[in-house]
Amino acid sequence: MRRSIMGIGIAAGLLCMLASASAWAQTDQVKIGLIDDQSSVYSSLGGKGTILAVQMAIEDFGGKALGKPIEFKSADHLNQPDLGLNLANGWLTRENFSVILGGGSSAVLLAAQNAMKAMPQKTLMITGASSMDFAGKNCTANSMHFAPNNYVLLAPTVRALTARGDDSWYILSSDNAGGKIALETASNLITKNGGKRIGYALFPLEATDFSSFLLQAQAAKPKVLGLATSGSPLVALVKQSGEFGLQSSGLKIALLAAFITDIHSLGLKDMQGLVFSTIFYWDRTDSSRAWSERFFKTHGAMPTQMQAAAYTAATHYLKAVQKAGTTDAQKVVPIMKEMRIQDPLFEDAYVRKDGMVIRPAFFVQVKTSAESKKPWDYYKILATIPGDEAYMSMKDQGCPLVQ
């Protein structure tokens, strides 16, 4: 019944958008809307930190674009596709917002992306969700994927572990759209790199007790337990795996979608030695460190890779709008794809033709307490992977617009 109601809500939202198409009027005022998980399982990855990151981008740009003050609004979509779609619909049609940024559940942003196919003058930037479909089969001419996708979060870790002989895997992933894509992507990568997936399980997104899943994984006797989730579910999984003695038994745990807030929530004692992939680390360069320390003064936590991606997305968008002299996505998005991304957080970054943002990735290991020299000094970078190697090729990604 809940799925039926959700489907009706999404369909109604889409029909409303289509009915409103003739009423859209282009404006030269930049209005930025952000829909994100601000109160649930992914809130620490985005939420208030993403709001701050966008506000910092607007402030660093001078607060104005095209000669007028930039308007910014945010809302919590509660990881519900119908709610997220209705929020985006209201802003884009009735309030004439020019761009939507979005994070949290991939299902919410996939619904918005589908609906915005009928809004060619509006722009969508996915800044905090990881589905491969955003720049794959679901791609549109007016959307871009700034957040790390499942492939870049998984590939460096799977390659590194299988190469050293850790080749039998059991995967635990969330039972939602993003989790299922992560499971499929991880399974394909394990096989491609000479390993074998010997089992998997999907758990409810709101689950808090993972004992049965962990015991099932332990019974399969893999060399690696891959945890393809993030936020509060990941924190609970790692904590409970320690309580069951999985790490001490010799089972290796690979984090397939980890964030610095996850490390901080559990602490180095429980997380030390675990490996994962990331596109951002606050303490890597002088410029990323300076920006992150500004962020920390307000937020009280160092930025996640999703929050950093939101800053970059907003900054790159505003530069393109200023150059285009309009907010019309049909003119702005091509400029965003032509210009290299230049900001304090990422080097060698650009928007590919399919809308995927390409930049280097880092294979990291969580430091021990002895190795960490200051607060939030958590990562040891083991390898840097150039962007063209870190991401799936555009052909394999499968965006129909560039085939």
Task: Kindly state whether residue 398 falls inside one of the protein's structural domains.
Answer: no
* Same-domain check for residues 118 and 174: no
CB 274 within 8 Å of CB 366: yes
What is the token pair recorded at 390? 């870190």
The answer to the question of residue 395 being in a domain is: no
Q: Of 20-24, 143-147, 226-230, 256-260, where does mean pLDDT reach its minimum?
A: 20-24
pLDDT at 363: 96
Same domain, 353 and 299: yes
One domain for residues 274 and 291:
no
Q: For the residues 45-64, what does the mean pLDDT come to?
A: 97
Write the pLDDT tens digit of every residue in 148-179. 999 999 999 999 999 999 999 999 998 987 78
Q: Are residues 332 and 185 in the same domain?
A: no
> Does 102 fall in a domain?
yes
Q: Are residues 256 and 369 in the same domain?
A: yes
- The answer to whether residue 78 sits within a structural domain is yes
Residue 401 counted as domain residue: no
Residue 68 lies in a domain: yes
273 lies in the same domain as 242: yes
| Same domain flag for 224 and 302 | no
Residue 77 has a pLDDT of: 96
- Confidence (pLDDT) at 92: 95
Do 107 and 168 lie in one domain? The reply is no
Beta carbons within 10 angstroms of residue 102's beta carbon: 33
Res 257: pLDDT: 87
Q: Which residues contact 262 (CB under 8 A, 6 or more apart)?
A: 44, 230, 231, 234, 235, 238, 255, 271
- Provide the CATH number for the domain around residue 64: 3.40.50.2300
Most confident range, picked from 178-187, 221-230, 238-247, 332-341: 332-341
Looking at the structure of the chain, the number of domains it has is 2
Q: What is the arithmetic mean of pLDDT over 8-31?
A: 52
* Confidence band, pLDDT 50/70/90 cuts, at residue 189: very high
In the predicted structure, residue 37 carries a pLDDT above the cut 60: yes
Is 252 in contact with 38 (CB distance < 8 Å)?
no
Domain match, 194 and 291 both: no
| Mean pLDDT, rounded, of the chain | 91
In this predicted model, what pLDDT tens digit does every residue of 265-313 receive, in sequence order? Answer: 999 999 999 999 999 999 999 999 999 999 999 999 999 999 999 999 9
**Residue 27 confidence (pLDDT):** 57
Q: Is residue 52 part of a domain?
A: yes
Q: What is the pTM of this model?
A: 0.90
Least confident span in 8-17, 181-190, 276-285, 289-298: 8-17
Residue 83 has pLDDT above 50, yes or no: yes
pLDDT band (50, 70, 90) for residue 94: very high
Clarify whether residues 117 and 205 are in a common domain: no
- Give me the pLDDT at residue 4, please: 39
DSSP string, 189-208: HHHHTT-EEEEEEEE-TT--
Percent of the chain with pLDDT over 70: 93
CA atoms 216, 220, 223, 226: torsion sign: negative
Same domain, 242 and 386: yes
pLDDT of residue 17: 46
Question: Mean pLDDT throughout 21-34?
Answer: 69
Q: Say if residue 7 is in the same domain as residue 130.
A: yes
**Residue 396 falls within a domain, yes or no?**
no
* Residue 6 scores a pLDDT above 60: no
Domain of 244, in residue numbers = 151-278+361-390
